Amino acid sequence: MNPAGKPGKQGALMPVEEALERLLAMAGSAPILERERLPLAAAQGRVLAEALISSLDLPPWPNSAMDGYALRLEDWRGEPLPVSQRIFAGQAPEPLQPGTCARIFTGAPVPAGADCVEMQENAQVQDDQRVLFSEPLQLGQNIRPQGQETTVGEEVLAAGTRLGPIEQGLAASLGCAELEVVRRVRVAVLSTGDELVEPGQPLGPGQIYNSNRVVLCSWLQRLGCEVLDAGILPDDLAATRQRLAELGEVDLILSTGGVSVGEADFLGIALREEGELALWKLAIKPGKPLTFGHFRGVPVIGLPGNPASTLVTFALLARPYLLRRQGVQQVQPLSFQVPAGFVWPQPGNRREYLRGRLENGQAIIYRNQSSGVLRSAAWAEGLVEVLEGRTLVQGDRVNFIPLSEVLD
């Protein structure tokens, strides 16, 4: 360490997997978040605090999958059958009279005694209104059995499941008007940098607009977090300590910038002085100086300030941390292998996450992969993973992580 308390020459870089493992372990050992009960429609993006157990058989009774006729197989002898009742969805049928069929519509309960349904396209109504079935019939055909989806007492969704439209629909189908979910994670967002100005203000000499703030605030909202936007923090140690101390009750402080080795990078020093600092130097590009620590007991993740570094480290490290903090087990984005439609002749010692797209089944990359170029990510459909030390030639297989996998 030099006198300013900053790391000196670069030591070994920590592999991305190890950093993720450590972050997840810390999220998993943090105090369990309280739970709250929410109306079903408000639970989008939230995490189930307890398993969803079915209190119903679904469907509650056998019902018809087709518009047609319900009958008993043994009554079908090649002779037309009279229609003894008409059953619509929402009605409770009478037991089927032997030797007859019932007119039935999709979703209607199959009457007791019937054991198959024939669709109306395969039935001929005779002049005397009796119905002739010409196709061969099979036991149970076109009947959706009681409990085919779920039965009473079955676990339908596990605790720790993130709720999206499909899970909300499943809960609705079981009659749940409210769900027990984990409370929102409260995240304070800080943008560090004397050069930063908010959009809408005039730019002075040497200044740039703050883009990381809105990226993180809207991303966190999509993830179901409660966002405390703590604004811009000047590059000053005393101001950094004071602002961190004033943030109040939050579960995570998420900052951008000020984590490298420059003379205006103070986050690490503030953490070391009033908490604990793990400045990891990750084998990741962009995003090397990602910082994790505590300030007076509150977890802090310091994302590197370059906009593409902020994006990549949030997607691959902070997002999984926040999900695991809420009890989600599956926190890794799904990805798949595709052939590279580009060459990468000079690999470094960091794993690279290039902003890329799919074209004709191959991954192609944005022309400028500088960590300062956010436009690369706006152009991209995903992150193309290039392993450390690996020279790529066209056609080599690379891992592709769709951005849609990490944005929600």
Residues that bind ligand LQZAQKY5 (CB under 6 A): 191-193, 195-196, 208, 210-213, 256-262, 265, 286, 288-289, 304-307, 309, 371-372
CA 115 – CA 70 distance, rounded (Å): 7
3-state secondary structure of 67: coil
Whose CA is closest to 185, among 317, 31, 316, 290? Answer: 31
Q: Tokens at residue 76, please?
A: 């079908």
Residue 351 binds to ligand MOO (criterion: CB under 6 A) = no
Return the residue of 288, 324, 325, 351 that touches ligand MOO, per CB under 6 A. Answer: 288
Number of residues that bind ligand MOO (CB under 6 A): 8
The window from 48-56, 84-92, 158-166, 283-291 that contacts ligand MOO (CB under 6 A) reads 283-291
Q: Tokens at residue 49, please?
A: 């605090």
Site residues (CB under 6 A) for ligand MOO, limited to 192-231: none
Residue 287 binds to ligand MOO (criterion: CB under 6 A) = yes
Residue 320 binds to ligand MOO (criterion: CB under 6 A) = no
Whose CA is closest to 88, among 112, 105, 66, 70? Answer: 105
CA 319 – CA 326 distance, rounded (Å): 11
Residue 369 binds to ligand MOO (criterion: CB under 6 A) = no
Site residues (CB under 6 A) for ligand MOO, limited to 240-279: none
Report yes or no: 259 and 291 within 8 Å, Cβ to Cβ.
yes
Nearer to ligand MOO, 257 or 327 (CB): 257
Closest-approach residue to ligand MOO (CB): 286
Return the residue of 46, 72, 213, 285 that touches ligand MOO, per CB under 6 A. Answer: 285
CB of 238 to ligand MOO, least distance (A): 27
Task: Spell out the long-range contacts of 326-330 with Cβ–Cβ below 8 A and sequence spacing 24 or more.
Answer: 326/33, 326/47, 326/160, 326/182, 326/185, 326/224, 327/32, 327/33, 327/47, 327/49, 327/159, 327/160, 327/182, 328/47, 328/160, 328/161, 328/162, 329/160
Q: Which residues contact 201 (CB under 8 A, 6 or more apart)?
A: none
Query: How many other CB atoms are found less than 10 A from the CB of residue 310?
Result: 30
Nearer to ligand LQZAQKY5, 308 or 328 (CB): 308
The window from 216-224, 245-253, 281-289, 397-405 that contacts ligand MOO (CB under 6 A) reads 281-289
Partner residues linked to 285 by β-bridges: 352
Residue 265 binds to Mg ion (criterion: CB under 5 A) = yes
Which of ligand MOO, ligand LQZAQKY5, Mg ion, none sits in contact with 147, Cβ below 5 to 8 A by type?
none
Query: How many other CB atoms are found less than 10 A from the CB of residue 226?
Result: 14
Nearer to ligand MOO, 255 or 306 (CB): 306
Q: Which residues bind ligand MOO (CB under 6 A)?
A: 285-288, 304, 306, 309, 371
Q: Which residues bind Mg ion (CB under 5 A)?
A: 260, 262, 265
